[in-house]
Every structure is written in structure tokens, then in C-alpha cells.
Structure 1
């Protein structure tokens, strides 16, 4: 999906969006500015990508444009935001409601939180028409909603119309959010990390869809992302932000191939290569052996026949001490089911999970509890996996004290772990909300290592992190593997991440293993068509970010 526009998006005429010298400040905090002197434009039919680390001001800028800032926390203190020549900072609340959906619209990062869980998809899309197109009758509104569902290539629009959000996949939910945003054909679409949690094939479909709808309606797109692969595929121009300021902007090829600022060069060079380094064969002892593992879910509703869904079928793998084994595949391929069965958060339907010679799939009660210290898990969202009411010191020492370690010894171990993950021991008295996303993930890794496990399962542990923090966490995991010898089962949908950190890779599709081998072999010379399709869908696959050039 290489972007074909070569002029850098220099469309003639008035820009759809013109942000001039925007300042956003904290309310009641001495007017501390979180966004400073930001200026950018987006022309009709143009895609402008805003990139930068977490906390750089990307989302605050987007929320300012939409008029969605919390008045109790943030406010725009200077500058202007011109939407087709109208300053939205001077618009009344009623006028802002009219502009949203009709002239500007937004697609949020997490579709499940953007959709109402107790209303059907059809009702939620129809609501936009009921509010903004009162002249339309119920039948005409339904026709428009069905046409919109078809335009975003959703299968069986009638079923989708009557479904609730939880009954759809992540990619389908994101398409529904795009329907809500575009049904009134707004002139400006703001997309805030809309593909972050999606696998590469679904991500590619969403990006193609946005491009298709953009070309059809000549929509201006402001796309916020930390994924430079996405930038390489869709951007006309790029705006780089750091600590609330614009540090560099220009055409895509200029920013990616010839970045002028050190900060931009750091971001671009942090993007992992799709070509892994050749690693020596690991001949250490086997710490995890999965044999013919199967997991079947049974679904049965009121007045419905029982339906069995095979989430994992005959999975076989081995993990050696000090090895990182990557498990890749699309959403629904069975990756997370495998991870949860390995740590016994779910009971396998069949097969064995052997950790250091003990089949934990057959254990129950106290023997299972005793084995839990041998396998620990790092989850995707570090904020939700830490108790917000406990200090991080209490969270890290909880497992140790549960297994009989004294409080003093547990605290001493926690201080050692802080040093291991690159944090100061002084932070043990803080609470999770006082840390950045990358720091919270380091804390989760420390907690998982507290019991000195033989196997560490990381389930999408870096997917929500920006590229520079992601690079730091991956380097940390690699360093920990070297120092402790822990075997790591690394679940990911990001093939670049897999290439950077994994020794071996297993590819899953529809609950089955379709390919297994050394990372260099699987990612450079895949045997299976499905693996080749995953690689073809990887964003930015035509760019060598390490050397600032297209391939």
C-alpha cells in the first residue's frame, strides 16, 4: 500500500484544517503549558501523520481540535484552530456539536470503549443521523446505515446492524467506529492510533479502507500514530512532536529518509528491522514442552444448540532456557489461548504443558499453586494489570510473601529487581498512576521476575508502547534473558518486534501451528503462504528505517 502521492500534499486552495500557534495549559497549575505554539495544516484529500512519544501532545492537540478537552483539566490559552475558515475555539457548545460528525469526526484508539456496550451497532450509527439529519425518516436512515456498513466491507451487514459490540471482532468494531465517523461525510477525519492493537492483516485492511473512503470523498485526514511503518505507507506529510512542541515537519520521504532533528532520527532508527539477525542455536535444557495441546470452548445460549469452538488444536512446541520463542498470527489465531493455557489461567481441554519435567496441565489444588512460581506472565496493558490502590512495592512483593518469604527479604528482592529493570529502588513507594506506560511495563516485568520463574510468558507486552519505549523494553527483555536464563514465550502480532527479539518463531492460524523454525528462516524464507501473507501485510515493509532509506 505504498503511497503514490509525490508532491508532499501541497493542495491548492484553503486547507480544511489550519492550526496556528496553539497553546494548551493545565487548569489551576500556574498555567503550565502542555502544548506550546503548535501549528499545522491539512489540505483536502491529504493525510498528515502526527508522530512522537507518549506525552508529546499528539492526542491533546487532536482533542483540542474536536473541542473534547476536559474544561476542569485543560484549556486552550492562545492561538486558533480554523476548520474551513471557522475558528472552533470561538464556537459555542451548540455549534461544536453541529460541527462534530458533519464537518469533523474522530476515530478513537480503542473501539470497545468508544462504542456503547448496551446498544446495537445499528442504533449507534443511526444515532448520528437522528441528531444531525432530522429530516430523514426511519426507513431512509436504515438504508444509509446499511449502505455505510457495506462501504466499509463488513460481512453480512444485516447481522452486523443487529449485533452488539462484544459480538464483533476488533477489526469489525473499528470499522463500525469508522462508519459512525464518516456517515455524514465530514471534511476532516482525525484518527487517533486507530490500528495500534490490530494484527497486521486487519491493520492493513483498516488503512486501505480509510484511504479508499478518503479518495472517494476527498477527506482531509489527521492521523496520529507511533507506528512508523504506518507512516511510511499512508502519509503525505509528517509532523513530529516532542514535549508539546512541533520539532520537525515535512513531506514523508524527507522526514523518513533525511530527518533533520536528532529526536526524529532517534524515533525513526528505533523502528525494528523486519530482517532478524542470525542467532546461534540454543542447546540449553528444555524448560517448557507443550505436547498436543488443545482448547475447545463450548457456546450455548438460551434456546440455542451447543456450539464447540476449537481455539487451539494439537499445538506442539519446546522452549529452552535462555530462548525467546515468538508466537505470531492474526487476531483469533489462538495465540493468547495458548499463553493462558501455559500459565494455567485456562485449563487445556487436552494435551500436556510440561514445565521443568512437571505436567502442570494435570495438576490441581495445592500442587498447582506450588508450580505457579515457575511460570509468570506479563500482560498487554500494564495499567490494568497493576492494582491502582497498592504501591508498586506491595504489588511486587505480594507474590513473594504469598510463598512464605519474609517482608524484609521480599523488599530487598524488590529493590534488586528495580535495578534490574532500570528503575530506582526509591520508586517502590509510588502508585501505578505516577509512572509512564513504559515504566509501568518495566514494573510488570519486575513483578513477574520476583519469583525467579523458569518460563516468562509475554502476551503483546509492547504493542501499546511508542517506538522508543518499545525499543527500551525489548532491550530490557533481551538483557534479562541473558542475565537470568529465563525462557520467554513472546506473543505478538508485530513482525518487526518478533524479528528483533525472537530466536525462534511459531506461526499460528485458526488455532493451529502452520510454521515453526528459526526466526531468520521464518521471516526471510517462509515456507507457508499464510506466513508470506503476514509479511506482505506488514506496514512499511518497503522501508529500511535503520538506514533511513526505502528498500
Structure 2
């Protein structure tokens, strides 16, 4: 008979853990962190970028870079065994068998030159003595458990042949194939659309309930936290700020930092009215885009797309991954040629235009990841001045305009000689926005421009978009899968599914009274649609 005291022991016990750089810095980057996780429990570790969440989770897996970081104090007990004091061989044995990790980006976690079946099989091959046939049976069974379709085909597929949600399910299958006692999930849903995110969260919960797995879920998204957490650990700049029951943290946070994080989550209540009296800046009429050759290999990425963006208006395009949002944006920008239809910018159809020099000045693009879109070898001044100089502005005048534009996005002109790596993620996104608006375009296209940012930084960037729109009158085409973001910033919404528009109209009408089942499904999939994070309470019931 099992001793009651043994069953009450936590699966994971983090005790006074301190992590420092090598050589030691003036101050450790993680300081005196303690919390427990019991069987069947989900503990969410939340905080902004740089808070120490991911470093702490990597220490639990024994994956800290040995030449850069080390644990200088405390214990990490896994079923009573201190993983900080075990040998390399023992740690390898513990990984996957007792503790597994699901990483944020499955495309970097998976090997692109091996089939996904081989990669899940590899875990069993290394850690068990099962025959090849038995391993294959277990892999296919696990693929079915994570709700993958046509598992025989998936088994033979390479990562690039799967959708983002399917790749994340493969990573989860790899993590859970040996039924570990502890699952560490580091931002596993950040880049996923709301419906795929909901499926992944439900899947982790299902498998957790079946196996009694303890889960540590690292995230900056309090919407996700409210859906899955039993308890919450809040971290800030390496310190544990607050810990407690999920509902207590959401409804009555004790610390100012926690209150700031929770209240930064955008509301689902639409705020912006449509600007029907303003002139049209962009008219997309009957736009379609086909890839491949007519017949078997042809893919219809966008079909008969028609919508309008007016002066000073932010029009959002929402939908799942693969719905055609970014394809439409690229056609409008003329980064790709539309197959059919018109893209009318300030009265001129730019779809058939071959010399795009004038078009480039009128339409500017803000990408999702500013670290990849900014040249790491160019100073901020060089990045901001490049377009102006290319269009004939003298360098001195271009530098002065770049400095004024930086101030418009709340950055001092003194940063102009720095490089992108010297800024935080939120600051880099401000620089990317400044680089776009310095050209004074008629239309700004923002493609998932805030999806990878912390909620607090996201709130700042969204406020910046509104401020720029009010001060300059610029029109914005805003591509997003986050309905909360769309509710806060968009005057009008276009809902896309499988390359087609299924619904469009004023944001308040689309989100409060959707007419299409797909739109209702998107709204239902948004995390915690019934919680008012700004006021730390449930939303009042609609009358």
C-alpha cells in the first residue's frame, strides 16, 4: 500500500534556485526562486521577456549553456532527486523518461531532414529496448492520442509538410511518448492562431488528466493562464514577485507588477467605431491568388477578396493560419502579383503596375519579427534613412527626419547610432514602425506585428499605433490572429477562412453579433472571453 506522505510529495520542487552568468555578474540573473508542482497540477510561470522564466525551465532540464550560465545555489528536486547534482548520463536518462519539454517553435525543435515518425521513434529507440515494430505501433498510437489525422501519412511526412498546429502536436507526442512525470511547456502556443491554440491547450489538459502529469507552463499570455492554470508563479527580472491560486491572482493580485501584467491583457470589448465618412485610401476588388500550375498542383490561396480601407482607419484581417491573410497583404504590397482583381491605392490600380518604385513609397510593411527584418549590421540611423535617401532626400535632411520620427514612436534621437541587438523586443518593433512611417506612406501594413510581444509591451505598441494614426491620419491594414488585439485597435474587420472572406463589417458588429459560424468559432476559441482583465473580474452578462 502506498504511503500517504509519499503521494503528497510534489513531483517537482524548486528550492531557493539562483542562476548566474559565467563569469559571475554584479547580480545573478535568477535569484532565490522557490515553488512546487504536484501530480496532475498545472503551474504557470509568467512574466515579461527577461524575467528569467525560460532560464529557470532550462535549468530543470539540465540544458543551461555550460559556458554561459550555471546554477549557483538551491535545489531542483524531481521526485526527490536533485537534478543539479546528478551525472550527465543520469540526466540524459531522466530527460523524456521523467521530464520532457515542449519548445515554443516546433520548426526549430524538429529536424527538417528527418520524417516526424523517425523523430518520435528516436525517443523510444534511445530510451527503451522495444522492437522496431513495437516502437512504430507506439508512435502511431501516440499520434492518434494527440488527435493527428491520417497518422500513417503524418508518420512519413517531413516537418515542412505539416501545419504549425500539427508540428506542435508532433513535439508534444515526442515529449509524452515515455509518459514523463513532469512536462515543461515553454510558450508552446504563442505563435498559434486562437483555434489551434485552444486545441493544443485542450490536448495538454487531456493527456495530463489521463497520466497525472505535472505541468510547468511558461508563458506571458494571461489569457492562456486563465484557461489552464491551477496556480501561478509571477517572475520579474529574476525575482519571484508573487505566487498563488489562479483565480486569486486574476481577481486580486497583491503586487503592482502583477496588476500591471494582468491589466495589460486587451479586452474583448470593441472600442473603435468605423470611419464611414472618410475617403477611401485602399480598395481591393475581386482579388485572387493562385500558386502552381492549373490542375492538380494549383493552390487557390485567396479568392474574390473585396474590401476597403479609409483614411485614418485601421482595418483588421483575422483568421486562422492558412486562411490567406498574409497572402492578401503581400498582394496589396505587391510583394507577390495577384492572379486576378484590382488593388486601388488612392484611385490608382497598382495590380498591373510593373515599375513599383512609386508604389513602394506609398505602401510600407511592418513584419512580425523586427529582429529579422532589421539589418543587424546597420545602425538605426542607417535603417531609417535608407528609404529617404533612395528616394532623393539629402542625407542631412534624412537624418533630421529620422530623428523626429524616432521621437514620434517614443524613442530618443540619441539611440540612432546603436544597432538592433542593443534594444529590447518592444523597442525593436518601435524602430520597425518608425522605419515604415518615416516614408510618410498612404497605407501601412502590419503583419502580426505584436503577436510575439509580452502583453505589457504589446499594450504599449498598440497604443503607439493609435497615437500615430491620430497624429498622422495614416491608414493601416492590420493582420492578426488575436481577437483581443483586433477588438482594441481595429475600426473594421475582415474575417477570412480558407482563402475567402466569410464576413466583414464594423469591429463592434463582427465581434458582438457575428453572422457566420466561423467567426463565432474564432470568438469562442479566444482565451477567457468572459473575463475582464482590466478590472480583475468576470465580464457582466450580456442583456
Q: Give structure 1 stretches of 5+ with no counterpart.
A: 1-10
State the aligned residue count.
535
Match of 1:342 in 2: 332
* Maintained 8 Å contact 1:231/1:540: no
* Maintained 8 Å contact 2:301/2:499: yes
Distance (whole Å) between structure 1 residues aligned to residue 338 and residue 318 of structure 2: 20
Q: Give the CA deviation at 1:529.
A: 0.9
1:408 aligned counterpart, secondary structure: helix
Distance (whole Å) between structure 2 residues aligned to residue 127 and residue 12 of structure 1: 32
* Maintained 8 Å contact 1:16/1:83: yes
Distance (whole Å) between structure 1 residues aligned to residue 22 and residue 407 of structure 2: 36
Measured at CA, do residues 428 and 278 of structure 1 come closer, stay the same or move farther in structure 2, by a change above 3 Å? closer
Match of 1:488 in 2: 476
Match of 1:4 in 2: none
Q: Give structure 2 stretches of 5+ with no counterpart.
A: 1-5
Match of 1:89 in 2: 84
Residue of structure 2 aligned with 1:207, choices 201, 205, 208 = 201
Residue of structure 2 aligned with 1:295, choices 289, 299, 314 = 289
Residue of structure 1 aligned with 2:404, choices 407, 416, 424 = 416
Match of 1:383 in 2: 371
Distance (whole Å) between structure 2 residues aligned to residue 328 and residue 372 of structure 1: 24
Match of 2:224 in 1: 230
Q: Give the CA deviation at 1:275.
A: 1.1
1:33 aligned counterpart, secondary structure: coil
Match of 1:98 in 2: 93
Q: Give the CA deviation at 1:280.
A: 5.6
Distance (whole Å) between structure 1 residues aligned to residue 485 and residue 363 of structure 2: 22
Residue of structure 1 aligned with 2:47, choices 42, 48, 52 = 52
Question: Is structure 2 residue 512 aligned with structure 1 residue 524?
Answer: yes
Q: Give the CA deviation at 1:12.
A: 5.8
1:472 aligned counterpart, secondary structure: helix
Distance (whole Å) between structure 2 residues aligned to residue 287 and residue 42 of structure 1: 54
* Maintained 8 Å contact 2:61/2:99: yes
Q: Give the CA deviation at 1:277.
A: 2.1
* Maintained 8 Å contact 1:297/1:309: yes
Match of 2:259 in 1: 265
* Maintained 8 Å contact 2:274/2:492: no
Distance (whole Å) between structure 2 residues aligned to residue 425 and residue 29 of structure 1: 33
Deviations 1:470-504 (A, max 9, x none): 00000000000011111000000000000000001
Distance (whole Å) between structure 2 residues aligned to residue 299 and residue 461 of structure 1: 32
Could you tell me the TM-score, scaled by structure 1's length?
0.95
2:292 aligned counterpart, secondary structure: strand
**Correspondence 1:289-328 to 2 at 5 A:** 289-298=283-292, 306-328=296-318
Q: Give the CA deviation at 1:412.
A: 0.8
Distance (whole Å) between structure 2 residues aligned to residue 516 and residue 536 of structure 1: 18
Match of 1:5 in 2: none
Could you tell me the TM-score, scaled by structure 2's length?
0.97
2:370 aligned counterpart, secondary structure: coil
Worse-matched range after superposition: 104-113 or 407-416: 407-416
Residue of structure 1 aligned with 2:464, choices 476, 489, 495 = 476
Distance (whole Å) between structure 1 residues aligned to residue 52 and residue 366 of structure 2: 28
Deviations 1:35-80 (A, max 9, x none): 0111111100000001111111110110111111111111111111
* Maintained 8 Å contact 1:52/1:240: yes
Match of 1:460 in 2: 448
1:515 aligned counterpart, secondary structure: strand
Residue of structure 2 aligned with 1:184, choices 178, 184, 201 = 178
Match of 1:543 in 2: 531
Q: Give the CA deviation at 1:279.
A: 2.1
Match of 2:417 in 1: 429
* Maintained 8 Å contact 1:66/1:100: yes
